[in-house]
Chain A
Amino acid sequence: MTKDIRAITMPKWGLAMTEGELTAWLVDEGAFVDEKFEIAEIETTKITNVFESPISGKVRKLVAHTGEVLPIGALLAVIAADEISDDEIDNYVSKFQEDFVPEEDGASDDPVHQKITVGDHQISYLKIGDGNNDPVLLIHGFGADTVSWMFNQSVLADGRAVYAIDLPGHGRSSKSIPDGSIASMAKIVSGLISALGLKNVHLIGHSFGGALAIAAAEESGAKSITVIGSCGLGKEINTKFLQGFIDGKRGKHLKPVLEQLVFDKSLIGGDMINEVIKFKRIDGVPAALQALVDSNFANGLQSTDLRGILSKLLIPVSVIWGANDEIISVSHSQGLGSNVSVSIIENSGHIPQMEKSSEVNDIILKSIGN
């Protein structure tokens, strides 16, 4: 066994994260943890997430306290073998704390959001990674943005460029949506792929973005598609969620709406709700969201059926669904063609790429080839 003392520190999930709040320890001091063992819950401004241990070993000291807000890289816990004395552990902790300097804002080499013009739209995207492997394009769902992929984008960017985009009306992109239909939004996606010069792109779409991935697959020459909790594969959709998302102006109204996104309701924190409220205050956003709902989900039903297109695709198709999805039923993953591989994620709602990121990352990595 190693004699090293090793630190577990505050992780960085997504670009916007500068600090996190330790909301719960899931292990006690003295426990042995394996790599990927769930050791803590950490709340970011976006969502609360389970933190999996990046290393294995014995947890000798839980340094951070529940409720503490700490910058990225701050010491959370110390892993070391039994033969290391408590004094040595304490010395290590004191030295760590003494030397620790939080990363300065903007001083890092983090990739930055860039903009490109596609037709009348200014589309913002975030590119992470580079390499010879075929690129990936991530398309978020209704009301979301690149943050949807905060637990996925870096993981997928091993030896390849991974682009996360903001759809028109969302994130940093221009907000006007003259026609919110799946067909016209998919044209914007393929236009973007062409403007970025991407070839053999793996398209990955979530929810409404899933429908766009399916609809844009052929025109954009996609190499594979992966859709998560996708639109376009059945009639029903939780329109109470959609309208509640648009109409809810205050935390107490939005909380129950957003809780429908996840299986574990405690993941929806006050900060995440505030982010949604802030997003909806931006000029043009409420109109854009309403345009999407009116174009695609009028009368409480999905107006576009993409099953036919999906079954004719000659590229690998992967469909991922949370078993407990309250927005679009997991039953929509049934009866898809033999060209489709379906993965159901247990104990997960509509956003398994956040709620069960590591399982989803494994599935995607398998389907895009590592």
Chain B
Amino acid sequence: MAKKSYREAINEAIAQEMRRDENVLVWGEDNAGGAGGEGEQDAWGGVLGVTKGLLGEFGPERVLDTPISESAFIGAAVGAAATGLRPVAELMFADFMGVCFDQIYNQAAKFRYMFGGKAVTPLVIRTMYGAGFRAASQHSQTLYPMFTHIPGLKVIVPSSPYDAKGLMIQAIRDDDPCIFFENKVMYDDEEEVPDDSYTIPFGEANVIREGEDATIVAFGRMVGMARQAADALEKEGISCTVVDPRTTSPLDTDTILECVEDTGRLVVVDEGYPRCSMASDVSSIVAQHAFKALKGPIQMVTAPHAPVPFSPELEDEYVPNADKIVAAVRATLA
């Protein structure tokens, strides 16, 4: 076992599955990077290098560069999945869903249901999300709530390198269409990741720490923020449970409810917009099913109802952080 980055963990997961199953193929814009040019053929390995090296091992039949045509190549992934391949297609930034969403939410998500249970569409769409790169409104959004809304999709939001590898292998082996959200700010985060292949089941929340005073449910990059907040609060004698649901669909509501029943207070942290978000979703689930356990108002820590700004000062203010989570925990305890 060695320390591996979030990027390396995802790359290793894909490579191991490609070795195990020859029907796993990878494609997307610049996933090799360099096709047709006179220079290096594996020049980029994806715009942030996640698929780097796969071309060398698996060749251009299994690692394909695509034209900048998200509808065509995401749709091709759906069609290939429905006919016997297990594509791992990259939608570079989740923001680009706007140009290909039909193929995801009307086609991949609904085949099984519309076709009376006869379709199998084992597709993984990898996509980057999240603010922090000074990439402004069209390259920074946290859009997993929009995918979570759609029945038929599974939505994965890994918060650490270890989880990213196990969840990616699970996603590739899973027979349903999976949307795998990678936070671009986390690619260089490192931790111990086993060399062996392993899977983490979907719908199984990770209770990262257990406390007595409040439950913080956080997603993706926000899990790290929640841990920082919990550390800070611990010093003041406020102990928090931190829950990382790992997948937003399926969502481990049992664990969330159990934790809230134990602590009586809930703070939900979601990097997405506040309306119709995971924050509002978890809040409503808890309000419906654990109302009697609540000792204080539910608090949501989210981005504001505004696009992601460009200016570093504005963007830093935009993203939830540990201080805002600490304030929210205090507010629910007040």
Contact = CB atoms under 8 A, between A and B. Distances in A.
A1 B70 CA distance: 78
A281 B210 contact: no
Contacts of A282: 194, 196-198
Contact of B197 (A67, A105, A283): A283
Interface of A: 16, 67, 105-106, 172, 175, 249-251, 270, 278, 281-283
B196 A175 contact: yes
Contacts of B234: 67
Contact of B204 (A67, A105, A106, A250): A250
B201 A249 contact: yes
Nearest to B2: A106
A97 B74 CA distance: 55
Contacts of B197: 282-283
B198 A278 contact: yes
Contacts of B1: 16, 172
Nearest to A250: B204
Given A249-B201, A250-B204, A282-B198, 5 more contacts: A249-B204, A270-B210, A282-B194, A282-B196, A282-B197
23 contacts: A16-B1, A67-B234, A106-B2, A172-B1, A172-B195, A172-B196, A175-B196, A249-B201, A249-B204, A250-B204, A251-B207, A270-B210, A278-B162, A278-B194, A278-B198, A281-B199, A282-B194, A282-B196, A282-B197, A282-B198, A283-B196, A283-B197, A283-B198
Contacts of B198: 278, 281-283
Contacts of A251: 207
A352 to B, nearest CB: 27
A337 to B, nearest CB: 42
A250 to B, nearest CB: 7
Nearest to A283: B197
Interface string B207-246: 1011000000000000000000000001000000000000
B122 interface: no
A284 to B, nearest CB: 8
B3 interface: yes
Nearest to B200: A281
Q: Which of A16, A105, A172, A282 has the most CB of B within 10 A?
A: A282
Contact of A105 (B3, B201, B209, B210): B3
B234 to A, nearest CB: 7
Contacts of A281: 166, 198-200
Contacts of A283: 196-199
A105 B191 CA distance: 11
B196 to A, nearest CB: 5
Contacts of A270: 209-210
A332 to B, nearest CB: 34
Interface in B168-209: 194-201, 204, 207, 209
Closest 5 CB pairs of A and B: A281-B198, A282-B198, A283-B197, A282-B196, A281-B199
A123 to B, nearest CB: 15
Contacts of B196: 172, 175, 282-283
Contacts of B162: 278
Contacts of A278: 162, 194, 198
Contacts of A16: 1
Contacts of A175: 196
Contacts of A250: 204
B200 to A, nearest CB: 6
Interface string B64-106: 0000000000000000000000000000000000000000000
Contacts of B195: 172
Contacts of A172: 1, 195-196
A278 B204 CA distance: 13
Nearest to A281: B198
A105 B166 CA distance: 23
Nearest to B210: A270
A320 B199 CA distance: 37
Q: Which of A106, A251, A281, A282 has the most CB of B within 10 A?
A: A281
A270 B195 CA distance: 22
A126 B168 CA distance: 30
A362 to B, nearest CB: 31
A67 B198 CA distance: 31
A172 B196 CA distance: 8
A278 B206 CA distance: 12
B248 to A, nearest CB: 19
A3 B138 CA distance: 67
Contacts of A67: 234
Contacts of B210: 270
Nearest to A67: B234
A105 B84 CA distance: 44
Contacts of A105: 3
A52 to B, nearest CB: 28
Contacts of A249: 201, 204
A196 B199 CA distance: 33
Interface in B14-44: none
Contacts of B204: 249-250
Contacts of B201: 249
A175 to B, nearest CB: 7
A281 B201 CA distance: 9
Contacts of B2: 106
A286 B234 CA distance: 37
A101 B7 CA distance: 28
A250 B209 CA distance: 13
Nearest to A113: B1
Nearest to B193: A278
Nearest to A251: B207
B241 to A, nearest CB: 12
A282 B204 CA distance: 16
B190 to A, nearest CB: 9
A16 B2 CA distance: 10
B238 to A, nearest CB: 13
A283 B3 CA distance: 20
A227 to B, nearest CB: 29
A250 B198 CA distance: 16
B231 to A, nearest CB: 10
